[in-house]
Chain A
Amino acid sequence: MLIKIALPKGRLLAETAALLQKAGWGLSGYQEKARLYRLKSTRFPNLVAKVFHEKDIPIQVAIGNYDLGICGLDWIEELLIKYPSSALVKVKDLGYAKGALYMVVSRLGGMSTEEEVRAKEGVVRIASEYPNLAESFALNLRLRQFSIFPLWGGAEVYPPENAELVLIPGRIGEESFDYDLMPITKVLSFGAFLIANKNSWETKEMSEVLASIEDDLPVSKGQPSLAEVAGASEIVGRHFSTQAAEDVVRLALPDGHQQLPTLRLLNKASIQISDYPSLKGNRRPTSNLDGVMIKVIRPQDMPLQVANGNFDMAITGKDWLLDHLYRFPPSPIVELLDLKFGKVKIVAVLSKDLSVSDVYSLRRLSAERHQPLRVASEYVNIADKYARDNHLGMYRVVPTWGASEAFLPEDADLLIENTQTGRTLTRHNLKIIDTLFESTACLIGNANSVSSSSKSERIKSITETLRMAAEGV
C-alpha cells in the first residue's frame, strides 16, 4: 500500500534530510534549492514524499492528503488550538530544531509583564504568523479588547509602533531579541515532530517506515536551525520615539524580491535610503525623507496594516491589494499610484492532463464530480471570488504558503497563481486556462491619513515624487 509523506522545506530541511539519510530512505533531491517536489525512496518503494512549506504540512496531513508528515510542533499546535478535532496524531518528537514561541514586547513600549498588558487601556494589538495561538493567548489572559493581526512574516519589526505584542519563535531560554524586544512569557516549546493522519494511523501498516526513523534518532545538537529566525547578530535598527509626532508618516517598504525594483524607484526619485535591502536583515532602514518612519515588512501584510492605520503608506502589489479588498470591501484603503514595475499576470491554472481547457468546461466538470473542487492559492480571497463568480459549485479553497504549483494535480485541482513568463508552470506540466488580471507594484495609502490635516501634505509630496520617478519624468 502506498504511503505518502509530506516533508518540510525551510528551517527544518537540513536536519530532516540528515535524519532520513541516516534512516536509509535514499531520497534523492531532498535538499535546499533542489526545485524538486516529488521524491521517491530507494529503500521503501511504496513510499512517496512531497516537499511543502512547513505551514502546509499539518493541514495536508489532517485532511488526509498525506499519511505522515514532519514539521514543527508550533504549526501543529497552531492548527489544533483552533480546530481541535483535526484528524492528526502527534507520533513522535524528533528531537531537533528545538525552539520556543515567545510573546514579546518592545522595551520601549512601557509594558513588561502579563499584568501590565492586561491592565492596558484600549485595544491590545497582537501581530503574529501564529494568529490562532495568539488569540488563544489573548483569551486565556482574559484581555478585554484585542485585535489579532495575522502576518506572513517580519513580526519582530512591529512593536512598539504597530503592535503591542508579537508572538515569535526564538531559541529556548532566549531573553532578548532584535529591535530591543523582550519576552514576557513563553507560550510554547517546540521541535520537529512526526505526525500522522488519524485514519491512516488506525488503518495503514506503516511500521517499517516508522521503525527506520525510530532507530536513527540524530544526536540532539542544540539549536542550529533557528539562527535564521532569531537572527545571529543583534539588530537594533532605528526606533522612532513612541510618542512619535502626529505628523510622522509611517511608510512600509517590501521585503523579498521587490526590494531591488523598489530601491531603483527610490533612487530615481532621489530618496536616499540606507541599509535597504539589508544584508543582515535589518527591517528599520533610515532615509533622507523628513518626518517619515520606514519599516520593511511583507507585501502580503501591507493592505491590512495600512487599512488599520498601523502604516500610512506602503509599496505593495495590486494582487495583494485586491486580495484584501475582496475580503473586506469597506476597507479604508486607497491606491495612490501605479508604480508600473513587478508586472505579473494572475492566472487560473490546471494540470495539462485534464482535458478541460476553459473555465466553462471546468464548471461543468465540477458539477459532474461528486467531490469538492480544490482550489489552491496564496491569494485565498481572489481564489474564493473567482470560484464564486464562475459558479464552480462545491469548491474548497486550500490556502498555500508558496510553491503552490506543486499542489497540482494530486493535492488540488485548480490553482490561482501569479506568473511572469509561464515557464515555471509549463515545467510543472501545468496550463493556464484563464487570466484574472494583471498586477503591478502600487503605492497604497490609508484613507484617513490621506485626508488628515497633519499628514496629507507629506503624503502628497511623497506620492508626487514617486509619480515622477515612476513615469520617468
Chain B
Amino acid sequence: MFIVLLQIESNLGLRLINTLILIVEQLGKLVYNLQTITKGMAMRVNRCKGTRDLSPEEMMRFRFIEEAFRDCCLKWGYEEVKTPTLEYLHLFTSTGTLTPSMLGKVYSFLDWDGWSGERVVLRPDGTIPVARLYIDSMADKGLAKLFYVTNIFIFEQTGKETRERWQGGAELIGASSPLADVELVILALEVLKKVGLEGVELKLSHVGLIRGLLLELGLSPEEQAKIFAQILDGNVEVLAGIKPGKPELDEALSLLLDLKGKSAGFLRNFKVLFTQNLPELEPPVDNFITIVDLLEALGYNYQIDLTSGRGFEYYTGLIFQFFIGEEKIGGGGRYDALIPLMGGRNVPASGFALYLDPLMSLVKPAALTEPLAQRVLIKAEPEAIEQGFNIASYLREAGYVAEFKLEAQEPANLRWILDVRSKAPLFVLTDQVSQKRFEVQATSEVLRLLGEEDADKDSLA
C-alpha cells in the first residue's frame, strides 16, 4: 500500500498530462463540442493541495527580492549555484542532522529507478544540497562563498500553508571565525534593508551553549539528542521539565532560558556567575560574546533568545533569526559538523536563508506603484505591419517595452500609444499622461520625442 499511494502522488504530473492529451485527442476527433470539454476542464484542473501560484504581480515582488538578494551576494563576493530538485533521501538521513519530525515531513518516494528501495526526495532544505555540491566538486577550493534562490518542499498537514517554499540562501564554507558569522548576519540585514523593510528584529541563540547545558544536566547521549531534537522542533517546555541535580544548573537554566538579553553584558554576567562551576560552557559563551561584541560595535540591535530553534540539528554554534513582528522571515547559523558528517573533510561552515514567501507580501517594489513610463503600445494599420515591427524592434533596443495591439482590449497601465500608418504622418505618438499628441515621419524622431518627454524615465522594473 505504501509504494502504491506514494506512486499515485508521484504520478500527478503524468495525470495532468493525460488529462491534457485526452482533451487534445477529443478535440481532434471532435467527439465532444467545445462546451462539454471546457465544462469538464473546469471540474478537473485544480491546483495541488498545499501549493501556490505566483501571479504576475507576485512575480514582480519575487524578482524584486531575488534581484536585491543576488545583487548583495554578488557584491560580497558570493557565487550563485543551483542544485537539483531531486536528491536521495539518504543524503538527509545519513548525516543525522534533520530531526525525525522534520524527516517525517519530507516528500520522499520511489522514482522510476527505485527498484533498490533507494528513495528520492523533493529537496526539503537548501543547505544540505549545497554542502553536498561542495563535497562533490568544490572541496579543493577550500573557501567557498555560495548563494542560491530555490524552492524547498515540506509537507504541512492541513494544506493551508504552502508546502513549496522559496528561499534565498547563502553559505560560507571554509571559514570558522566569528567574523564569518557576523558577515552573514550583516549580509542578510543588508538584503532586507535593500528591499525596504523596516523593523527587522534579529534574534540570536547559540547551539554550543544549549548542548553544553544538556551535557551538564547529566543526561545520557540518547536523552541529550532527544531533548535537543525537541528543543529544535520548538518544544522548549521540555527543558523546564528536567530537574537538574545541581542547584547552580537550575539557576543557569532559568537565567538563560527565561530571560532575553539585549547586550553582550547579559552573556558576560552569565559567564562570571557560572563558568567557574560549569567550565564546559566557557568556549561557547566566549564565542557568543565575541560575535555579539562585533555586532554591537557595528551598531546592530539584537535580542538574545536561546530558545529559538527550528528542526535542524546541523547547527553547532551561533543561530540567528530575523523577524518582522511575529513573522519569521529568515535565519541561519553555524554548522561546522555537517560537511564532515556527510563524508567531506573537516570543513567549518555557516549560512542563512531568507524566506521569500512572507517577504513577498511585505515588500512594495516601485514597479507596482509607478506608471510604466517605458511601455509603448503599437497600433499598426494592416498596410503598415512591417514598419510597425521595425519600429518596435528599435524601441526595444532603446530599452522600451513595445507591444502590439492584438485585440480590442488595450493593455492597462501604459503611457504611450504609437499609431503606425501607411501614409503620412507615418507615426502618431500619444502621451496618455499629458494627453499630448505628436505627428512624426521618422523612427529617429519617435525615439527623440520619447526621450524628451520621458524626463522622469525610470529604470525598467
Binding site for B on A (CB under 8 A): 55, 59, 78-79, 82-85, 125, 131-132, 135-136, 138-140, 142-150, 304, 307-308, 324, 327-333, 363-364, 367-368, 370, 380-381, 384, 388, 391-397, 399
Contact = CB atoms under 8 A, between A and B. Distances in A.
B8 A144 contact: no
B103 A139 contact: yes
28 contacts: A78-B1, A79-B1, A125-B117, A131-B2, A132-B2, A142-B93, A143-B93, A144-B93, A145-B94, A147-B116, A150-B2, A150-B3, A304-B115, A308-B115, A327-B110, A327-B115, A328-B112, A328-B113, A329-B112, A330-B112, A332-B115, A364-B31, A381-B7, A384-B7, A394-B44, A395-B15, A397-B8, A399-B4
B365 interface: no
Contacts of A135: 2
B18 A393 contact: yes
B1 A59 contact: yes
User: Considering the complex of A and B, which 6 residue pairs feature the smallest CB-CB distances, nearest first?
Assistant: A147-B117, A328-B115, A131-B2, A331-B115, A399-B4, A391-B22
A79 B94 CA distance: 26
Given A148-B117, A367-B40, A391-B21, A384 B11 contact: yes
A60 B15 CA distance: 23
Contact of A391 (B18, B100, B157): B18
A364 B2 CA distance: 31
Interface string B132-158: 000000000000000000000000011
Nearest to B102: A139
Contacts of B11: 384, 388
Interface in B75-133: 90, 93-96, 100, 103-104, 110, 112-118
B275 interface: no
Given A145-B93, A393-B19, A396-B8, A368 B40 contact: yes
Contacts of A78: 1
Contacts of A149: 117
B22 A367 contact: yes
Contacts of A139: 93, 100, 103-104
A388 B11 CA distance: 10
Interface residues of B, number: 40
A435 B213 CA distance: 68
Q: Is the interface of A mostly helix, strand, loop or mixed?
A: mixed
A333 B36 CA distance: 46
B19 A394 contact: yes
A146 B93 contact: yes
B14 interface: yes
B113 A85 contact: no
A399 B93 CA distance: 29
Contacts of A381: 7
A324 B25 CA distance: 29
Given A82-B5, A139-B104, A380-B7, A145 B90 contact: yes
Contacts of B103: 139
Contacts of B7: 327, 380-381, 384
Interface in B10-69: 11, 14-15, 18-19, 21-22, 25-26, 31-32, 36, 40, 43-44
Given A308-B116, A330-B115, A393 B44 contact: yes
Contact of A83 (B3, B5, B26): B5
Nearest to A144: B94
Contact of A370 (B43, B104, B157): B43
Contacts of A131: 1-3
Contacts of A384: 7-8, 11
Contacts of A82: 2, 5
Contact of B22 (A140, A308, A363, A397): A363
Nearest to B32: A367
A83 B1 CA distance: 12
A128 to B, nearest CB: 10
A399 B115 contact: no
Contacts of B22: 363, 367, 391, 393
Contacts of B100: 139-140, 142
A319 B26 CA distance: 32
Nearest to B111: A328
Given A380-B7, A384-B7, A328 B114 contact: yes
Given A327-B112, A391-B22, 6 more contacts: A131-B1, A144-B90, A146-B93, A384-B11, A393-B44, A399-B1
Contacts of A332: 115
A144 B88 CA distance: 12
Contacts of B44: 393-394
Contacts of A138: 93
B177 to A, nearest CB: 31
A381 B26 CA distance: 26
B303 to A, nearest CB: 33
B409 to A, nearest CB: 32
Contacts of A145: 90, 93-94
A144 B112 CA distance: 23
- The listed residue with most A CB atoms (<10 A of its CB), out of B96, B115, B157, is B115
Contact of A394 (B15, B96, B157): B15
- The listed residue with most A CB atoms (<10 A of its CB), out of B18, B36, B40, B44, is B18
A143 B95 CA distance: 10
Interface in B286-308: none
A25 B3 CA distance: 37
Contacts of A331: 115
B419 to A, nearest CB: 47
Nearest to A128: B2
Contacts of A142: 93, 96, 100
B115 A388 contact: no
A156 B272 CA distance: 60
Contacts of A333: 115
A55 B40 contact: no
A397 B25 contact: no
A64 B337 CA distance: 48
Given A145-B93, A370-B43, A381-B7, A308 B19 contact: no
A131 B114 CA distance: 15
A273 to B, nearest CB: 29
Contacts of A140: 100
B314 to A, nearest CB: 14
Contacts of B118: 147
Contacts of B95: 144
Nearest to B118: A147
Nearest to B88: A145
Nearest to B103: A139
Contacts of A136: 104
A101 to B, nearest CB: 15
Contact of B14 (A363, A380, A388, A396): A388
A55 B5 CA distance: 14
Contacts of B19: 393-394
Contacts of B4: 380, 397, 399
- The listed residue with most A CB atoms (<10 A of its CB), out of B3, B4, B90, is B4
